[in-house]
Amino acid sequence: MSLLTDSRLIDKSWADGRMEASDKLRWTLRLFATSGTEELRCAALAAAGRVAALAAATSTLNSELVLEWSRLIVDECQSGSVHLRSAVVQSMDSSLLLLLLTPPDTSAMWGQVLSNCWMCLLRCLLDDDEAVRCHASALVAQVTRDSRTTHPAVALDRALGFFVDDVGRLYPAQVVVTLVNLMRNEAGEAPEEDSQSFEKGDSDTFHDPVFHSILFGQFMKRCVDRNPIAAEEIADLLETLNIPGDVEAVQNSFDISNAELIVTQRRCVNQFCVDLLRVYLVAGSLETLDRSLSIARQEIHKLVSALPKYCIGHCLHRTVFHNIE
């Protein structure tokens, strides 16, 4: 265990110098996969990031291994325990995140690694657990070299700015996909029964999907405005996001003509409004890329106009009709 938790031992040679940094990373990832205890899995996950940082610093980083590690932390960030989510933050060593901004090449693979890391970091800033949020904020402060970001609410805005400007400069399309996935993840967390959470504004920074969707949409637009995206990348991006398909899926998710259902299934109505608002925000943020997104936005405007007043959340109404984004 001490080999994994003591950074000084990680930096030293293993197996009498026969194991390079990439070999250490491969061994650490295998240990995580085969360990039977959560404590050992957490230690192995945290150590993997430090080993990857060491490999990057010595130019011995195996691209396939670091991609495997980045996918692993995404999985644990989504479905792992609180302890494993804390280990995810520890695994994202600040020196590694900074080194990844100057990758050996600007291939899509390195863009995916960076996007996976920032997906995890942003999710941890929104985590239900305060300790995870605080650890993530501290990491943002180290990466951005801004001590003011130690508060999670401030760190989220600063992290998004860094992600959009610094990572987006290299990989704008992948930054957009990451932000859309974050919005979809937020929208997928349905409000509690009879909740009016989509009307609360920003009163609950960590649990309000609408507040976060609006924020992500603003930074998505900033990314598109500041970072040119090649035509071929735009085509791939539109195919990946499939916004028209999203609009259709949301329309089919709830029968808005059934007044009784609207009254009795308030939770479903709330979720319908949140999903509709999310697609509207994405289409608006990206509409300069392709005319189809402007058309999708117009379709949502018509749909909202036809909805019964008691079905529409206040935030959805303000955003669609008054362009409060």
Tell me the per-residue pLDDT of 214-230, one tens digit each, with 9 for 90 and over. 899 999 999 999 999 99
pLDDT of residue 308: 66
pLDDT > 70 fraction of the chain, expressed in percent and rounded: 74
DSSP string of 63-128, one letter each residue: HHHHHHHHHHHHHHHHH--HHHHHHHHHHS-HHHHHHTTS-SS--HHHHHHHHHHHHHHHHHHT-S
Give the helix, strand, coil percentages of the chain, each rounded to 5.
75, 0, 25
Contact 293, 239 (CB under 8 A): no
pTM of the entire predicted model: 0.83
pLDDT of residue 309: 66
- Is the pLDDT at 118 greater than 70? The verdict is yes
pLDDT of residue 27: 87
- Is the pLDDT at 132 greater than 50? The verdict is yes
250-308: per-residue pLDDT in tens?
878 767 666 666 666 667 777 777 888 888 899 999 999 999 899 988 888 887 777 76
